[in-house]
Amino acid sequence: MRIRDDRAQEEPEINLVPLIDVILVLIIFFVITTTFDSRSMLQLQLPSATGEPVAAQAQALSVLVNADGRYFVDEHEVLRPDIDALKQTLQQVAGSDRSRPVLLRADARTPHQAVVTALDALGQLGFRKINIATAPEARP
């Protein structure tokens, strides 16, 4: 008696529908849980000051100096801590517009030399409208 084995003739197949469902759920999860705020990657502790806050200026060039003395111009990180690299990045981001206001945000723990270097680079390039960001003084 000869027994036929039909399993050998069937071709194996992979059902992709459950895989696609899982991938779509993962994509939705990552899109919902991701933050798109560029400031969230830099933790700055601004120095405090008294006075009236100034209204936000449109299209101000943002220069950040973190606690380690590293520079960020808008979303671009300056790779070297020297003044030439900072000036080059400022020229690339700002272009030829020297009348554009600049907002300098430095961490309160930043070495003073890093802030002076940033101010020096901005002055050498011809920026004259430079504002230094501070946090409001904490009230007891």
Token pair recorded at residue 59: 């299209």
Q: Maximum distance among all alpha carbons in the chain?
A: 101
The rounded distance, in Å, linking the Cα atoms of 129 and 23 is: 49
Rounded to two decimals, the pTM is 0.57
- Report pLDDT digits (tens) over 75-132: 888 888 888 998 999 888 888 888 889 999 888 888 889 889 999 999 999 988 888 8
Residue 23 confidence (pLDDT): 94
Mean pLDDT over the full length of the chain:
81
Confidence of residue 27 (pLDDT cuts 50, 70, 90): very high
Q: What pLDDT score was predicted for residue 61?
A: 87
Hey, is 138 helix, strand or coil? coil
Radius of gyration of the chain measured on its C-alpha atoms: 27
Pairing of strands 135-136, 48-49: parallel
Reading the block at residue 70, the tokens are 């590293």
